[in-house]
Amino acid sequence: MSWLARMLLDKTALERCSFHDTYAWHQAVWDCFPGAPDARRDFLTRTDWLPQGCRLYLLCLREPVRPAWCPPESWACKPVAPSFLTHNAYAFDLLANPTRKVAAFDANGRRTPNGRRLALLDDERRRAWLHGKAAQHGFRLDDTVPLSVEEAGSQVFLRRTRPGTHIGVRFRGRLLVTDRERFIQAFHHGIGSAKAFGFGLLLLQPLS
């Protein structure tokens, strides 16, 4: 059983929160899981910025509680039944951080073990990235339905005193499940990089 929570925060609520970057939002979501300070992150988030405030989604494998910074009227939470993931086709909405990994070197010219990620900036590479992730995660895109690819803005974060930027891309279309087990894993654990910063949550609507 998993859970999907939605928080609709207006401008007044956002002013009380005073979360200034995407990493601060990520840290604040831990307030939904009190009593587990040493737990590993087992949830996904997504923040959609709206003219009237923001909409924050939280997908998790344990039931969350409403954090103090979220007004009661702004909180909604429901279980995601296992049967929800048994359909063969879904409309999907994915906010992702499409990147490619390149080699990185230290001051002595030695290659570092993890490399670094560069954002994909053109539409063709972003589409190819999503097709590759689909094959990796047990589904394929339905080519009979146009795939929408939209810029979702840059998101600045500060971690260990160093600023960074993630470029968000919003994909919308229809998918067909090809490998149920891998698809379910992708739903619960996300797609792509920067999942700790609000990317990778696959919003789904079953289709007959």
Q: What is the pLDDT of residue 166?
A: 77
Domain boundaries, the chain: 2-80, 84-207
Q: What pTM was estimated for this model as a whole? A: 0.88
* Domain 2-80 classification at class level: alpha beta
Evaluate if residue 112 carries a pLDDT over 70: no
Percentages helix, strand, coil for the chain (3-state, rounded to 5) are 25, 40, 35
Fold match flag (2-80 vs 84-207)? yes
Query: pLDDT tens digits, residue range 10-59?
Result: 988 888 887 777 777 778 899 999 987 667 888 999 989 889 889 999 99
Which class for 189: exposed (0-12), middle (13-18), buried (19 or more C-beta within 10 A)?
middle
Q: What is the pLDDT of residue 100?
A: 81
Q: Residues 84-207: name the CATH superfamily.
A: Crispr-associated protein; domain 2 (3.30.70.1210)
Q: What is the pLDDT of residue 119?
A: 81
